[in-house]
Amino acid sequence: MTENGEETGLTIRDCAFTALATGEEARSLRELRDRVARIPPGSLYYHFSGRLLRPLFDAREYVNDFGNWVGYELRELDLAERMALLDPADYSDMEELREWMVELLEEHLARESGGREVPLSRAFHFLKGKIVVFDTGRTVRHPKELPDVIPVLSRSSIYYHFVDARARSADGVDDLQRWLLQRSSEYRPLAAALAAVDLHYTSLEKLQTELTHLFEDYFRAGETS
């Protein structure tokens, strides 16, 4: 609510994600370890979470860019599977995620030789993302509107309010949870259900469907109770 007691709506925003070169690249596991230790946090974010907003023209098995490169280019399949398990949601921030990733690479290098080195044309190129945010002119006035609103939002709006919001907030809370809890404590169960949505093995299409069903089930149950 606002200071005068009026309930506030949720302003729907959209975003565009632009990839920017960092000038860093890796052609082997040793180089990957060295670069991961020094690249900006925004590059880590791009290669883990930014994948959801980027169009992919082929199926990828390992859910983040690092695992895919290690698996498909270096053919280090065991390591690729372990890297695929790295979920940003399990770490307090990108720096903690960086530490674990470097440790994982060092452990593998200690057991194995340096491994293969790929030609420059197949190197891993570190990128970072820049998000441009803009207003859609749409406002959700009441939570009961969400079952109808979520299915018609753009995928990039879903990304901004649910995925990027978790990363940009200190407490890891998405915009939908925060708005619901600011409205009323009665929405705590719904907010808890949103917090439990796993972003690790998903796509924006699946996420949008999951959120739609979540809101439909919640408000339908409320109508019948």
Whether the predicted pLDDT of 3 surpasses 90 = no
Tokens of 6: 């009026």
Query: What number is the average pLDDT over the span 206-213?
Result: 96
Whether the predicted pLDDT of 58 surpasses 90 = no
- 3-17, 27-41, 127-141 — which is least confidently predicted? 3-17
Query: What number is the average pLDDT over the span 165-171?
Result: 89
Q: Distance (Å, rounded) from C-alpha 211 to C-alpha 215?
A: 6
Give residue 134's pLDDT. 95
Q: Distance (Å, rounded) from C-alpha 122 to C-alpha 205?
A: 29
Give residue 53's pLDDT. 85
Give residue 60's pLDDT. 64
Whether the predicted pLDDT of 15 surpasses 70 = yes
Whether the predicted pLDDT of 115 surpasses 90 = no
Is the pTM above the cut of 0.75? yes
Query: What number is the average pLDDT over the span 162-175?
Result: 92
Give residue 133's pLDDT. 96
Give residue 12's pLDDT. 97
Cβ-proximal residues to 99 (8 Å cutoff; 6+ apart), any chain: none
pLDDT band at residue 57 using 50, 70 and 90 as cut-offs: very low
Q: With helix as H, strand as E and coil as C, how does the chain read?
A: CCCCCCCCCEEEEEEEEEEEEEEEEECCHHHHHHHHCCCCHHHHHHHHCHHHHCCCCCCCCCCCHHHHHHHHCCCCHHHHHHHHCCCHHHCCCHHHHHHHHHHHHHHHHHHCCCCCCCCHHHCEEEEEEEEEEEEEEEEECCHHHHHHHHHHCCHHHHHHHHHHHHHHCCCCCCHHHHHHHHHCHHHHHHHHHHHCCCCCCCCHHHHHHHHHHHHHHHHHHHHHC
Q: What percent of the chain has pLDDT over 70?
A: 92
Mean pLDDT of the chain: 90
Give residue 4's pLDDT. 35
pLDDT band at residue 55 using 50, 70 and 90 as cut-offs: low
Q: What percent of the chain has pLDDT over 90?
A: 75
